[in-house]
Structure 1
Amino acid sequence: MKGKVWIPSVLMVLVIVLLAAGFSVAYAAGPRPIRVVVEGTALDVSPQVINGRAMVPYRAVAERLGARVSWNAGERSVTITDGDAVLKLTVGQAAAVSNGREIRLDTTPVLLDRRVLVPLRFLGTGLGWRVSWDAVTRTAQLNSIPALTVRVAVPDGVPALSIVRLLRERPSMGKNVTISYEVVRSPELMAARVVSGEADIAMVPTNLAAVLYNRNVPYRLVSANAWGMLYVVSSEKIRSWQDLRGKEVHTFGRGLTPDLVFRYLLTQNGLNPDRDITLKYLGSGTELAQAMIAGRVKTAVLPEPAATQVMVRRQDVSPVLDLQRAWATATGLGVSYPQASLLISNAVLNGYPEFVDRFLHEVAQSAAWVNNNPQTAGIWAEELQTGMTAKVVENALPRCNIRFVPAREARGAIEAYLRVLRDFSPEAIGGRLPSEDFYLQR
């Protein structure tokens, strides 16, 4: 009998010990409360976890970050202002506004116990703070970001058009961030800006990005932004690739990507570039456009917006072959080739992830805006002295194929493009395909 009493007695002792330690026999201990720490000081707030997101009382946190706050009872909205950063959130709505741009939240603000709770990460990053999360201690850390000066360089033409909204409006990129933009007129100068490190962010031909990577220049490709802008334009009756047989076709940049893409598509459509047509080369697309306007050229391969510049001046010239559609068919990918891509230096990528996310969001928004507002984009492009008139830009934009695609999604199309260029001319991509770390994965 004594042996039978021993086991329950031990269990009773264990129960008493557990109770003394603050545990419940019926229930496991709940997770420790979330802490919010700003520059090393814990805030006396009570965050809630809603849909997996830390939500905080907007007023207490925003004012600790040095921001001014206001509440609109009629709209049930809050506005938070700190310098040139302005955030607006509305209870029950997933659409928030950051510096005039609409952003979709994955958790909507809520009214709980007469307090408005908002997503902590959106609040912190929107006001230019670095937000980090320690899952072990369940602590959200907010720290100021060191001062950052960023230089952005883009070539004139379609790359400049893709970010014309940024060039015009100069949106805030966060507290302590100073950003400058340069529209570069020559390809050689554009490459020099990147090689020398003068540009922290640059939009370049995608094959040049591969060349720079193979030369160990410390940048990564973050997005594809211009998906082909080459057309055969002519005053002759050309309805198919076979109609080019026996004709003289002018192009530019012997051995450069427009030439290689055109040669590839000729072969894919049953034509030998060296026997079936006569290729004539000029130094640049601008020079070729002027020659066509002067009537010295009948058929040419031209990029936009140069092609439209010709067609505005010569009513008898029209686009007869779309190289982007031909590429999508020839490769079987169903998409065009990513002709221009965005690079960001490793120093900025690794040191300022909040800025990178904000900048890429603005670039994506600009691309969508340009396509939806061609008339205004044209006016702005002319006012910014990009070398393009408003009328040309408005007419050219539908053929510019501006589209923001993150690197992780564009990688397949980029690699297919680079393989074609490599097969024609290995030096066009620096000798080999870039490896996985060439692409930004987030």
Structure 2
Amino acid sequence: MKKIFAVLMSLLITLSLAVGCSSKNNEKEVKEPVTVNVGAPDGLPAIAIAKLSQENPEVKEGYKVKYTLEATSDALSTDVMKEALDIAIVPSNMASIAYNKTSNYQIAGTVGMGSFYLVSSDKDVNGLNSSLKGKEVGNIGKGLTPDITVQALLKEQKVDSSTIKYNYSNEASDLVSLLATNKLSTGIVPEPALSGLLTKNTDLKVICGVNDTWKDVFKNENGYPQSTLIVKSSFAKENPEFVSSFIKTLDENIKYTNENPKEAGESAVKFGVNIKAPLLVKAIDRTNLKFIPIGDCKDDYTNYYNSLLSFNSKVLGGKVPDENIYYAEK
């Protein structure tokens, strides 16, 4: 009897130890979710992820996404250069700079095509063409991409830019103020600032879109890439399935934004985007928010980057990036 009791006790102890070890092993198997840092600058790029930032849906099991809104493109650039972001929506020239300077960011696709528009109360102005000769035209960012894009269009049409008097503002809000108070009659203004401007000065008319003109002049389907989705190469290499899922989620979210501008505007305000929700409803048709995977828009980047290079190589980080800048989904 004593032997049987001893055997039973031995079995119980063994089972207890086995269960204990199993519990500890299970505890070790529970992994903390991988944190993914996603960033965008204030404005249209941030609108593309505003709803995601508020609802924070599960993109893929085992991952937690942290969305960051930066007040300026310069602040976002600092984050990218420090490689603090795994995924970001950036101005397209910044994608080139990030690749040339860090070799650790690649383009996954376009988030938005050009959203700048020529507006004027001058009846003689009929487009981004020779009708601008002798006129004073407002724009933002002398020597930067909004300026270079327009200059490239005029050059391609053999319009001498020296015959145009440019009035440059540092911010869209400054340009809007000049146009709203009739201190300027012609300007090139981005959405969503444009929609607000048109309510302040009803004499102004939208003459043409810079993106539409780019399509006509350079004979391409999409226009020029204004905002770009970049992914950190080292992160994507280790987490290809997450990146693929995020791209699909972003694409669906942009479609939702275009179809539901009122709700998207409310999400944008909650995210901290500097835009009044009702304004997005008016602006959405002209924002050109659309996700295009890089496999379908490489030529758009090549043409755009070559145009920028011919004016100012610094805006690209010194050179047109090589083919390795383009991310290939696994």
How far is 1:420 from its partner? 0.7
Structure 1 counterpart of 2:212, one-letter code: R
Aligned to 1:233: 119
How far is 1:360 from its partner? 0.8
Moved over 4 A (4+): 143-146
Are the structure 2 counterparts of residues 218 and 145 from structure 1 closer, same or farther at C-alpha, using a change threshold of 3 Å? farther
Alpha-carbon distance in 2 for matches of 1:357, 1:337: 24
State whether residues 195 and 217 of structure 1, in contact with CA within 8 Å, keep that contact through their aligned partners in structure 2.
Answer: no
Structure 1 counterpart of 2:68, one-letter code: E
State whether residues 164 and 370 of structure 1, in contact with CA within 8 Å, keep that contact through their aligned partners in structure 2.
Answer: no
Are the structure 2 counterparts of residues 270 and 397 from structure 1 closer, same or farther at C-alpha, using a change threshold of 3 Å? same
Pick one of 156, 159, 175 that aligns with 1:268: 156
Alpha-carbon distance in 2 for matches of 1:215, 1:379: 36
- The answer to which structure has the higher strand fraction is 1
Deviations 1:290-347 (A, max 9, x none): 3322332221111111111211222222211211111111111232101110111122
Are the structure 2 counterparts of residues 362 and 315 from structure 1 closer, same or farther at C-alpha, using a change threshold of 3 Å? same
Alpha-carbon distance in 2 for matches of 1:224, 1:277: 31
CA RMSD after TM alignment: 1.9
Structure 2 counterpart of 1:262, one-letter code: V
Aligned to 1:396: 283
Is 1:319 the equivalent of 2:319? no
Alpha-carbon distance in 2 for matches of 1:145, 1:220: 28
Pick one of 417, 420, 432 that aligns with 2:304: 417
Alpha-carbon distance in 1 for matches of 2:30, 2:59: 14
Structure 1 counterpart of 2:115, one-letter code: M
Percentage of matched positions with identical amino acids: 27
Structure 1 counterpart of 2:141, one-letter code: G
**Number of residue-to-residue matches in the alignment:** 300
What secondary structure, in the 3-state scheme, does the structure 2 residue paired with 1:424 have?
coil
How far is 1:381 from its partner? 2.1
What secondary structure, in the 3-state scheme, does the structure 2 residue paired with 1:214 have?
helix
Q: Which has the higher Rg, Structure 1 or Structure 2?
A: 1
Alpha-carbon distance in 2 for matches of 1:216, 1:247: 42
Alpha-carbon distance in 2 for matches of 1:385, 1:236: 36
Is 1:157 the equivalent of 2:33? no
Alpha-carbon distance in 2 for matches of 1:433, 1:160: 26
Alpha-carbon distance in 1 for matches of 2:271, 2:38: 16
Pick one of 414, 423, 426 that aligns with 2:313: 426
What secondary structure, in the 3-state scheme, does the structure 1 residue paired with 2:266 have?
helix
Aligned to 2:90: 204
Pick one of 280, 288, 301 that aligns with 2:175: 288
How far is 1:217 from its partner? 4.1
How far is 1:286 from its partner? 2.3
Deviations 1:245-293 (A, max 9, x none): 211001111110000001111223332111x211111112222123322
Are the structure 2 counterparts of residues 165 and 400 from structure 1 closer, same or farther at C-alpha, using a change threshold of 3 Å? same
Are the structure 2 counterparts of residues 162 and 406 from structure 1 closer, same or farther at C-alpha, using a change threshold of 3 Å? same
Structure 2 counterpart of 1:247, one-letter code: K
How far is 1:369 from its partner? 1.0
How far is 1:235 from its partner? 2.2
Pick one of 167, 183, 191 that aligns with 2:53: 167
Alpha-carbon distance in 2 for matches of 1:243, 1:312: 25
RCO higher in structure (CA 8 A, sep ≥6): 2
State whether residues 337 and 417 of structure 1, in contact with CA within 8 Å, keep that contact through their aligned partners in structure 2.
Answer: yes
How far is 1:187 from its partner? 1.6
What secondary structure, in the 3-state scheme, does the structure 2 residue paired with 1:231 have?
strand
State whether residues 312 and 392 of structure 1, in contact with CA within 8 Å, keep that contact through their aligned partners in structure 2.
Answer: no
Structure 2 counterpart of 1:249, one-letter code: V
Alpha-carbon distance in 2 for matches of 1:198, 1:431: 23
How far is 1:438 from its partner? 0.8
What secondary structure, in the 3-state scheme, does the structure 2 residue paired with 1:431 have?
coil
What secondary structure, in the 3-state scheme, does the structure 1 residue paired with 2:161 have?
coil
Aligned to 2:254: 367
- The answer to which structure has the higher helix fraction is 2
How far is 1:385 from its partner? 3.0
Are the structure 2 counterparts of residues 344 and 144 from structure 1 closer, same or farther at C-alpha, using a change threshold of 3 Å? farther
Alpha-carbon distance in 2 for matches of 1:387, 1:205: 17
Which has the higher mean CA deviation after the structures are superposed, 199-208 or 238-247?
Answer: 238-247
Is 1:249 the equivalent of 2:120? no
Alpha-carbon distance in 1 for matches of 2:268, 2:96: 29
Alpha-carbon distance in 2 for matches of 1:385, 1:215: 30
Alpha-carbon distance in 2 for matches of 1:354, 1:148: 13
Equivalent residues in 2 for 1:87-102 (5 A)?
none
Deviations 1:193-217 (A, max 9, x none): 1011222211111111111211134
> Is there any run of 5+ residues in structure 1 with no aligned partner, and where?
1-65, 67-142
Is 1:437 the equivalent of 2:321? no
Aligned to 2:197: 310
Alpha-carbon distance in 1 for matches of 2:199, 2:225: 27
Structure 1 counterpart of 2:216, one-letter code: T
Is 1:223 the equivalent of 2:119? no
Aligned to 2:15: none
TM-score calculated relative to the size of structure 2: 0.86
Pick one of 131, 136, 147 that aligns with 1:259: 147
